[in-house]
Amino acid sequence: MPNIAVVGAQWGDEAKGKVVDFLACEADVVVRYNGGNNAGHTVVLGSETFKFHLVPCGILNAKVLSVIADGVVVDPEVLVTEMDGLTRRGISIEKLRVSTNAHVIMPYHRLLDRLEEEGKGRKAIGTTIRGIGPVYADKAARIGIRIAELVDPARFRGRLAENLKLKNLLLEKVYGAEPFSEEAIYQEYSAYAERIRPYVTNTSYVVNWAAAEGQTLLFEGAQGTLLDIDHGTYPYVTSSHSVAGGACLGTGIGPRAIDRVIGVGKAYTTRVGAGVFPTELLDDVGDYIRERGKEYGTTTGRARRCGWLDTVALRFSVMVNGLTGLSMTLLDVLTGLEKLKVCKAYKCDGSETSQLPGDWETVQECVPIYNELPGWSEDISGITRFDDLPANARAYVKHVEELVGVPIEIISVGPERGQTIVR
Ligand code: IMP
């Protein structure tokens, strides 16, 4: 198998976990390269459901090396909880590796995330309140605490004291909040450090050596293209690089190491949090999709906004990720809808465009232009061959393929590993 990067092609929650788990069967190394526990991946294996926020879902495969790379931000409490949960269920974590360079989410990051959101009022981003924005802000400001420091008690104490001096001032003077106790954080985080230390290493070498040996690498992107800090619907984005290029930045591997880029997109569109969403459905069809698709967040439990598939957004995703193929998930959710719509272009300022008219903010003023297709009523959740899908389902997939210009290589018709059509 070639080295593959799997990225979310929409606003996250595209069921990447299932696709990564499916592809991980053939991989030697699975690498998580961006974001933190704002992500949530669900993998269903037989009667067991696994939910991951940090650990790459490759961990379910005993032979796979699972790497939390440099670009990830780690809440150590969450990492330790996931490690314990896996061990309790008999899953070995021996092949977990955590980068020395990954940044650590501190209690003040989580609190500041909430206070900043509250301060924005109606302009709130709708973050997951996991401290993601504040930890990446500290990283860019070159004051963040990295895993290498967390696991070195003397360095950690010093870095914590430096940071708390500033953060407590900010919390008290600007937000009128209670300051944090250095000793309490030190004690709590030292206990996490003990647990994480055996898995900590310079993961750039681990990944590059594996590549040099001809091992198969799978890069697992979190969130989605339209939540990327540079290419997404700014400012309603996350704070990391969720596009395929993020796999290089967040891992320390050159772009030539990635042979294929698979974008994962739902057969429709969803988004959580605020921000532009041209094809959003605020009617019964939106509710139907939400209920059938169980469109409630893995991380926060929030109801997701639902809408028709937007191929203007998908084409943008194909372009900025250099997608070689798409994986269409949750096609079964559309079963039972008499008519399906696919957004092919936007009408902006009186003229039609199949591309983004400017930045995403200007899309707010645009109206989607749809093609309408007939739906299907047959249960497709047990189908494993493309040719066995109802004619209208096949036509839907082919229509999307024509509009986005890359092959739809994998189709998912249910949460289980087996409910997958490979074309
Ligand atoms: P943050 O990443 O918690 O700062 O949140 C920023 C924006 O990204 C919010 O709109 C979140 O709802 C969204 N977001 C973050 N992580 C995910 C994810 O894994 N799936 C979907 N949306 C996400």
Task: Identify whether 13 is a catalytic site residue.
Answer: yes
pLDDT in tens, 193-211: 999 999 999 999 999 999 9
Assess whether 124 and 168 both reside in one domain: yes
Mean pLDDT over 300-313 rounds to: 94
Mean pLDDT over 37-45 rounds to: 85
The answer, yes or no, to whether residue 298 has pLDDT greater than 80, is no
Q: Which amino acid is at 378?
A: E
Q: Which of 262, 277, 293 is the last residue of a domain?
A: 262
Distance from Cα 321 to the centre of ligand 1, integer Å: 19
Assess whether 147 and 213 both reside in one domain: no
The verdict on the CB of residue 38 being under 6 Å from ligand 1 is yes
127, 135, 264, 300, best to mutate for ligand 1 pocket (most atoms within 8 Å of CB): 127
The verdict on the CB of residue 135 being under 6 Å from ligand 1 is no
Distance from Cα 163 to the centre of ligand 1, integer Å: 25
Domain of 361 in residue numbering reads as 265-422
The verdict on the CB of residue 235 being under 6 Å from ligand 1 is no
What is the structure's pLDDT at 49? 86
300 band by pLDDT with thresholds 50, 70 and 90: confident
The answer, yes or no, to whether residue 62 has pLDDT greater than 90, is no
Mean pLDDT over 221-229 rounds to: 96
The verdict on the CB of residue 242 being under 6 Å from ligand 1 is no
How many structural domains is the chain composed of?
Answer: 3
163 band by pLDDT with thresholds 50, 70 and 90: very high
Assess whether 305 and 400 both reside in one domain: yes
Nearest ligand 1 atom to alpha carbon 300: 12
Distance from Cα 224 to the centre of ligand 1, integer Å: 9
Assess whether 19 and 84 both reside in one domain: yes
- Answer whether 33's CB lies under 8 Å from 221's CB: yes
- Answer whether 15's CB lies under 8 Å from 43's CB: no
Assess whether 142 and 115 both reside in one domain: yes
pLDDT in tens, 385-401: 999 999 999 999 999 99
Packing angle of the helix pair 182-196, 76-88 (nearest 10 deg): 40
Lowest mean pLDDT among 21-25, 78-82, 419-423: 21-25
Q: Which of 196, 220, 252 is the last residue of a domain?
A: 196
The verdict on the CB of residue 130 being under 6 Å from ligand 1 is yes
Nearest ligand 1 atom to alpha carbon 275: 10
What is the structure's pLDDT at 189? 98
Assess whether 281 and 330 both reside in one domain: yes
Distance from Cα 384 to the centre of ligand 1, integer Å: 32
Q: Which of 212, 230, 262 is the last residue of a domain?
A: 262
Three-state secondary structure call for residue 373: strand
The answer, yes or no, to whether residue 299 has pLDDT greater than 80, is no
The verdict on the CB of residue 107 being under 6 Å from ligand 1 is no
Q: Please state, rounded to an integer, the average pLDDT across all residues of the chain.
A: 95
Distance from Cα 38 to the centre of ligand 1, integer Å: 6
Looking at residue 170, the DSSP 8-state letter turns out to be I
Assess whether 80 and 220 both reside in one domain: yes
The verdict on the CB of residue 15 being under 6 Å from ligand 1 is no
The answer, yes or no, to whether residue 43 has pLDDT greater than 90, is no
pTM for this model (two decimals) = 0.95
- 71, 57, 75, 67: which is closest to 95 by C-alpha? 67
Integer angstrom CA distances of residue 335 from 235, 404, 413: 34, 22, 10
What is the structure's pLDDT at 103? 98
Integer angstrom CA distances of residue 411 from 317, 367, 408: 18, 29, 7
Q: Which of 28, 41, 70, 241 is catalytic?
A: 41
What is the structure's pLDDT at 278? 95
Nearest CA, atom 16, ligand 1: 38
pLDDT in tens, 232-276: 999 999 999 999 999 999 999 999 999 999 999 999 999 998 999
What is the structure's pLDDT at 253? 97
292 band by pLDDT with thresholds 50, 70 and 90: very high
H or E segment to which residue 273 belongs? none
Assess whether 73 and 84 both reside in one domain: yes
